[in-house]
Amino acid sequence: MGFGMLGVFLGLLLEVSTHGPHAVARTSWKRQDLHLMEFSEPGIFNYSTLLLIEERDALYVGAREAIFELSKKNVTVRNNKAQWTVAETPVRMCLLKGKSKEKDCLNYIRVLQVLDDERLYVCGTHAFQPQCDYLSLSDFTLAGRAEDGRGKCSFDPSQSFTTVMVDGELYSGTAYNFLGSEPIISRYSPSQPLLRTEYSTSWLNEPSFVFADVIGEGENTADGEDDKIYYFFTEVSVEYEFFGKLLIPRVARVCKGDRGGQRTLQKKWTSFLKAKLVCSMPEINFVFNVVQDVFVLKAADPKETVVYAVFTSQWSNVGLSAVCAYNMTTIEDVFSKGKYMQKATVDYSHTKWVRYNGITPTPRPGACINNHMRQQSISSSLHLPDKTLQFVKDHPLLEDPVLPIGSRPRLVTKEVNYTQIVVERVRALDKKIYDVIFTGTEKGVLHKSVMFEGEAYIVEEIQLLKTSEPIKNLLLSSQTRSLYAGSDSGVVQSPTAFCHKYPSCMECVLARDPYCAWDPQTPACVNIFSTPSKRHGRLIQSLQGDADTCPPVVSGRSLQDYQRVTVKLGSSAELPCLLHSNLAQVVWKCNGSLVTEASRFHLIGENGLLIYSVAPEDQGHYECWSLEWVPAARKNFTHLLAGYVLTLDLPPRPPFPAGHGATTLGGPETSSTRVTEGNGKTERAPLTSAVAPPSFTATVLLTSPPQTDSSLTPSPSSTVRFPPRHHLPSSSNAPRPENRAPAAEYLQYNNSTALLFLFLLFFLLFLAALAYNCYMQYLPAPCLRLRAFLLGNHKSTHQPEYRACEAGLMEQPAAEKLDLTAHPTQNGSQVPQNPLRALRDTGYETEPECGNGRVPSHSFGDESPSQEKPFDVECTSQPIQYADADEPYC
Ligand SMILES: *[C@@H]1O[C@H](CO)[C@@H](O)[C@H](O)[C@H]1NC(C)=O
Ligand SMILES: *[C@@H]1O[C@H](CO)[C@@H](O)[C@H](O)[C@H]1NC(C)=O
Ligand SMILES: *[C@@H]1O[C@H](CO)[C@@H](O)[C@H](O)[C@H]1NC(C)=O
Ligand SMILES: *[C@@H]1O[C@H](CO)[C@@H](O)[C@H](O)[C@H]1NC(C)=O
Ligand SMILES: *[C@@H]1O[C@H](CO)[C@@H](O)[C@H](O)[C@H]1NC(C)=O
């Protein structure tokens, strides 16, 4: 078992880091080529809260100690500014508590919500004493009401939290205390008392909130149910045991009409339920277990509403991000029909979560009030029976997981950490609907991906931010066709498409961007949404990327258009070539036949051709072609990128004897002629860093025979082709070589430490498994003798139930981990993985009574990971933990 697991997990990691499926952006746009609009003010940082009010044409920005109103059409235009600093006393208190003056004891504006037509509700961390206020939109001043912001805004500016305003009530998920140790999901309402979560690890266990939104039930629901507020967060798992903390992504839900219970759950949610979100690659058993951001794509038909979420892995050294999409109906079904989980005690110091198989009280615990309940004269949560309330208080966790659409991620990318996501649903010229996913990364890059036949491809990546810093917030405006990205250093506005950047029909169609189409009359690549629809008929677009729909290129470029390159005999020539697509490969042709990478021809930089010590027979016309395989169209497309005519400018001189070249290094003979691309652009950036270093020059010169030796010219029949660039994992995804290098190195380093760490981890696991098998008498004599020596004889007389309890203690981590990774799609029906698991999966009623069977302190239980469990629960009773819940808050 130990060896098997070791193998499985090491194999898994290697597989993920080398062969795992992942997408590569087709086009990379550099920041300097795009002229993005941006806003920042000197001395002001952390522009991380954004609010768009389309009707007012305004983008509101919450930064550190300041709130801005910017024009949504052009964020460089600042219409208003309000300052909100902290008075001296709170700052002094903050400093007394050991916080830093420059970083913590300031007012980070973190809540900006629309209250009504005239006011925004604004909250800030206010030097670790959160406060809220009202911002008048007419004169952009704060009312100075200084409401207590605890539970509405985090104390700590770096702590994650979320809020959403629904009908004038503020729903939030944040920490309620200074230390950030008391998480709550709460509702502040002007007319009702505060409603909140129980302070218990089974309700919330060190959560990191990322998103909350309301999902309306629509006007005409049959059962008259309430609107629901969904929260998305990552928390520390209670149901899986693991070495250390295993993080689990969750979706939780409360009902808008919840008013708390009458006796049980007074002023607490009676409708709080949560479930596990699954985002995994089943084919290689890889689980993404940290949800970073969520976007709810609401459709007119609630059935078509899709929840998009970006995930990374807790073991982020693997360097993968994923986008999973969830059907809103699936989420609702889990909450309305899913099985509950139950905490059961296996030993004095040990609890585990199992499926609850008993009878659930009616009305269903955690359900919103509906017409059926109203008929039973339960018109509000205050009338719910205590049995239902007590049950939901003890069983907030559902067993059934929420599975993504298609049971797999829509997009997996390597070497990026996604931080933000927004999605726009667009109708392309083929009248079909496409979901366009915009994801922001930790390095200030934006990826734009399109959902096509259930999978996404990345159209482009854009370096949005000046520096390599995380995108902290991302908003989309369909009206202005813009994205707004907030970061620590400023706000950037970017168009949702860069159609005009594609110079030809081929490029425009191969981009497969639903926003872009080729207009053969202008001719230009245009944005279909800014083109009058009467002209749509003549536009050329193919989401398959079938560039054969383009009009044939008019005879290509004639030889006269080729750039002339004249070099001296024996010197080298560099012919640059700029490839626009990261998915294409370059093919060089000379006199119409393929150039082979022989001694004197070298691919340099990304795609340029270096011809070394040019000889008379090297003269001719050279062409750089792009060759792109488009899987969706099942075709290769080629087009000419650059053409050169290479000639020698001197009559041939007697060749240098071999070896002489090394001493004339750097002289006129070895000087290289660098050429820029012919069509007006002078793009040489990728090549400047790629000129062959001196040592390389010397070697080649020494080993190359006299240049007149024609036997060395490449034979035209040979068809060596330059390898495609993107099969190399380390160069797959970064925008440009100059940006790429540091990240790639960092990743390499991380991978090896990750492997080492994992190896150690699994070695320990293996040892534990060995010890366990020995202990369970599965292994032969030497081990049994050791066992007898260690434990003495009394152990062998244990009751079978007791053995099972012990087994639960020992076997848990491995089995549960396997369960999580190998069977993420397992739904409801339990498939026992091994006999021991089956033994424990019978539900809590049949859980062996183990109150009398404490594991002796010298047993293997001492090394077992259960020691790290945060629980300390008695075997016979199963209360939830109330960690100083009733202590007065201060
Ligand atoms: C605020 O911005 C500064 C400057 O970029 C950064 O160092 C700091 O970490 C940010 N703080 C938070 C809480 O985001
Ligand atoms: C979600 O599931 C429902 C019911 O299975 C189905 O009718 C609907 O089309 C699905 N929606 C999406 C977006 O897949
Ligand atoms: C992603 O985040 C992890 C953890 O913060 C870090 O170790 C890793 O280098 C990041 N990867 C990239 C490509 O930014
Ligand atoms: C290309 O053609 C020219 C003239 O037809 C010839 O001199 C030259 O050797 C050819 N070059 C190559 C590399 O075949
Ligand atoms: C497309 O080009 C690749 C690379 O040259 C080649 O291996 C493949 O066979 C081509 N496919 C078709 C259908 O022409």
Distance 45 CA to ligand 1 centre (A): 7
Domain layout of the chain by residue ranges: 45-196, 205-410, 497-549, 559-738, 795-810+849-890
Our mutation pick for probing the ligand 2 site, out of 298, 307, 329, 332, counting the most ligand atoms within 8 A of Cβ, is 329
Distances (CA, A) of 349 to 352, 845, 861: 10, 19, 11
pLDDT on residue 226: 82
Please check whether the two domains, 205-410 and 559-738, share a CATH topology. no
Pick the residue with more confidence: 798 or 139? 139
Nearest Cα to Cα of residue 198 among 850, 879, 792 = 879
Q: Is 421 in the pocket of ligand 3 (CB under 6 A)?
A: no
Query: Which residues contact residue 651 at a Cβ distance below 8 angstroms, ignoring those fewer than 6 apart?
Result: none
Considering only CA atoms, which residue is closest to atom 4 of ligand 3?
A: 316
**CA 125 to each of CA 132, 152, 154, 411, 694: distance values in angstroms, whole numbers, following the listed order:** 9, 10, 6, 36, 58
pLDDT digits (tens, 9 = 90+) for 715-773: 332 222 333 333 222 233 333 333 333 333 333 344 556 667 666 777 777 677 656 65
Residue whose CA is at the smallest distance from ligand 5 atom 5: 627
pLDDT level of residue 168 (50, 70, 90 thresholds)? very high
Does pLDDT of 459 surpass 70?
A: yes
Ligand with an atom nearest the CA of residue 301: 2
- 3-state secondary structure at position 219: coil
Provide the pLDDT for residue 557. 55
Pairing, β 247-255 against β 228-236 = antiparallel
How far is the centre of ligand 1, averaged over its atoms, from the C-alpha of 720 (Å)?
A: 52
Ligand approaching nearest to the C-alpha of 292: 3
With the most atoms of ligand 1 within 8 angstroms of its CB, the residue from 100, 103, 104 to mutate is 103
Residue-level pLDDT at 772: 60
State residue 677's pLDDT score: 37
In CATH, which of 1.10.150.240, 2.40.50.840, 2.60.40.10, 3.10.180.10 is domain 559-738? Answer: 2.60.40.10
| pLDDT at position 619 | 86
Looking at per-residue pLDDT, the higher value among 681 and 437 belongs to 437
Separation CA 67–CA 82 (nearest Å): 5
CA nearest to 697, candidates 804, 613, 786, 780: 613
Which ligand neighbours the alpha carbon of 435 most closely?
Answer: 2
pLDDT band at 862 (very low <50, low <70, confident <90, very high): very low
Q: In a mutational test of the pocket of ligand 4, which residue from 617, 710, 715, 718 has the highest number of ligand atoms less than 8 Å from its CB?
A: 617
What is the residue with the minimal CA distance to atom 5 of ligand 4? 620
Residues within a 6 A CB radius of ligand 2 = 303-304, 306, 327, 329, 405
Is any atom of ligand 5 closer than 6 Å to the C-beta of 636? yes
Q: What residue spans of 71-197 are helical by DSSP H?
A: 88-96
pLDDT above 60 (res 784): no
Lowest mean pLDDT among 148-152, 158-162, 522-526, 610-614: 610-614
Query: What's the pLDDT band for 867 if we cut at 50, 70, 90?
Result: very low
CATH of 497-549, one of 3.30.300.30, 3.30.1680.10, 3.40.50.2020, 3.30.450.40: 3.30.1680.10
> Which residue's alpha carbon is at the smallest distance from atom 7 of ligand 3?
317
Helices (H), 159-216: none
267 has pLDDT over 70: yes
Q: Tell me, what's the pLDDT at 42?
A: 95
Mutate to test the pocket of ligand 5, among 510, 588, 629 (most ligand atoms within 8 A of CB): 629
Comparing 198-207, 342-351, 403-412, the range with the smallest average pLDDT is: 342-351
Work out which ligand 5 atom sits closest to the CA atom of 629: 1
**Residue 808 token pair:** 């639960």
Q: pLDDT tens-digit profile of 284-340? A: 888 999 999 999 999 888 888 999 999 999 886 777 899 999 999 999 999 999 999
The lowest-confidence range among 69-73, 163-167, 350-354 is 350-354
Mutation to probe ligand 5, out of 636, 720, 722, 727 (largest number of atoms < 8 A from CB): 636
The mean predicted confidence, pLDDT, of the chain is 75
Res. 219 pLDDT band, cuts 50 70 90: low
* Residue 556 pLDDT level (bands cut at 50, 70, 90): low
- Say how many Å lie between the CA of residue 734 and the centre of ligand 3: 14
The alpha carbon of 668 and the centre of ligand 3 are apart by a number of angstroms equal to: 47
Q: Is the pLDDT of residue 101 over 60?
A: yes
Ligand 5 atom at shortest distance from the alpha carbon of 636:
1
Q: In this predicted model, which residue has the larger pLDDT, 312 or 659?
A: 312
Question: What is the C-alpha end-to-end distance of the chain, expressed in Å?
Answer: 52
Q: What is the CATH code of the structural domain delimited by 205-410?
A: 2.130.10.10
Q: Which of 182, 303, 156, 160 is nearest to 232 (CA)?
A: 160
Q: How confident is the model at residue 667 (pLDDT cuts 50, 70, 90)?
A: very low
Ligand sitting nearest the alpha carbon of 107: 1
298, 301, 303, 308, best to mutate for ligand 2 pocket (most atoms within 8 Å of CB): 303
**Which ligand is in closest contact with the Cα of 469?**
1
Q: Does position 792 have pLDDT exceeding 70, yes or no? A: no
| Atom 5, ligand 1: residue with shortest CA distance | 488
862 Cβ inside 6 Å of ligand 4: no
The residues, any chain, with a CB within 8 Å of residue 316's CB and separated by 6 or more, are: 290, 417
638 in contact with ligand 5, CB cutoff 6 A: no
DSSP 164: E
CA 289, CA 279: separation in Å to the nearest integer? Answer: 7
State the maximum Cα–Cα separation within the chain, in Å, rounded to a whole number: 107
Task: Assess whether pLDDT exceeds 80 at residue 383.
Answer: yes
Helix pair angle (800-822, 737-775), 10° resolution: 160
Share of the chain above pLDDT 70, in %: 69
**pLDDT above 90 for 119:** yes
Position 605 scores a pLDDT of 66
Q: Indicate the class that CATH gives domain 45-196.
A: mainly beta
Torsion of CA 738, 740, 745, 747, to 10 degrees: 160
Q: Cβ(452) to ligand 5 under 6 A? A: no
| pLDDT class of 36 with cuts at 50, 70, 90 | very high
| pLDDT computed for residue 199 by the predictor | 92
Q: Which residues pair with 566 in a beta bridge?
A: 647
Q: 446 alpha carbon to ligand 1 midpoint, in Å?
A: 20
